[in-house]
Amino acid sequence: MRIYGIDFTSRPTSRKPITCAACRLTDDRLVFETLEPFADFAGFEGWLSRPGPWVAGLDFPFAQARRFVVNAGWPGDWAGHVAHAAALGRSGFRAALEAYKAPRPAGDRQHARGRERQIGAASPQTLYGVPVALMFFEGAPRLLQAGVHLPGLRAGDRARTCVEAYPGVLARAMLAAADQPGPYKAEARAAQDDGHQRRRRALLTALCGPAGQARMGLRVEADPALCDDPTGDRLDALVCAVQAARAVRQGHTDSGPPWADPLEGWIADPAAEPEQ
């Protein structure tokens, strides 16, 4: 099975592309093969249309929180609220989120989906810092338009299946297992240091070792050169592929896991699963 991992950005350029890691899954063995950058959305859209079979993990929110959708009066189904957001345009979407927050009290302006708060993921309404709201705006409508299969959200071409990944939660787990907690990447050159490089190496070693196999049920093989990217985008793309591969192994890429919310979706990582 071909497995992809996508590290996404809401403004791709040649200097900061959407990064795609291509891997091959055979039984419980996931082998990294190549990297492919997309410097614009046309490249990403072309990739989405590639014939399958393949499964991909993509690092952006596929949906908004149910509470926001209901309170804002947006269409109450996944395709409807994604199409509504797209129709607003980028500036209109941003204005709608700001207008929603303005009259609400502190602590009740942005809403999380599922276990986002527990796993350290930002609300899909977030516009600042890491602007995951804009990643949703640029990513989710393209999934809808491409007709890919989104388990638990929208039936589509099952030969082209996409699941929502969140590399941060798996990366933190691997760094903890390696006793190397802390940041492993930095966008700004001035913020990059030897500690980040050391942690990236520790992360990949853990992911490819017993800790990764115990947590994800996979034997991962990858090029150590992935650690040489100080932004962490290449390593994050691999981590997204690992999360997608686990979803395949768990049988979640047909109709989604039983806890998948048909409006909010689900994140393909064991930490995002409901507590037993």
Q: DSSP string of 84-128? A: HHHHHHHHHHHHHHHHHHTTSPTTSSS---TTHHHHTPPPTT--S
How many Å apart are CA 120 and CA 100, to the nearest integer?
Answer: 23
- Token duo for residue 254: 């047909």
User: How many percent of the chain have pLDDT more than 70?
Assistant: 99
Residues 6+ apart with CB under 8 A from 53: 1, 2, 158, 159, 160
Chain segment 22-51, per-residue pLDDT in tens: 999 999 999 999 999 999 999 999 999 999
**pLDDT band at 140; cut points 50, 70, 90:** very high
CA 25 to mean position of chain CA atoms? 19
Whether the ω angle into residue 230 lies within 30 degrees of 0, i.e. cis, is no
Q: Are 65 and 112 in contact (CB under 8 A)?
A: yes
> What is the average pLDDT across 64-82?
97
Q: Are 51 and 103 in contact (CB under 8 A)?
A: no
Give the per-residue pLDDT at 168: 96
Give the helix/strand (H/E) hosting 197: helix 194-207
How many Å apart are CA 205 and CA 212, to the nearest integer?
Answer: 9
**pLDDT band at 18; cut points 50, 70, 90:** very high
- Other C-beta atoms lying within 10 Å of the C-beta of residue 96: 16
- Reduced to 3 states, what is the DSSP secondary structure of residue 10? coil
Chain segment 227-262, per-residue pLDDT in tens: 999 999 999 999 999 999 999 999 999 999 999 999
> What is the average pLDDT across 124-128?
97
**pLDDT band at 155; cut points 50, 70, 90:** very high
Chain segment 179-211, per-residue pLDDT in tens: 999 999 987 777 778 889 999 999 999 999 999
Residue with tokens 């793309």, as numbered in its chain = 237
Q: Are 171 and 184 in contact (CB under 8 A)?
A: yes
**Which residue type, as a one-letter code, is found at position 44?**
F
Q: Are 260 and 272 in contact (CB under 8 A)?
A: no
Closest residue by Cα to residue 114 from 180, 166, 170, 174: 166
| Mean pLDDT over each residue of the chain, to the nearest integer | 96
User: How many percent of the chain have pLDDT more than 90?
Assistant: 95
Give the per-residue pLDDT at 276: 60
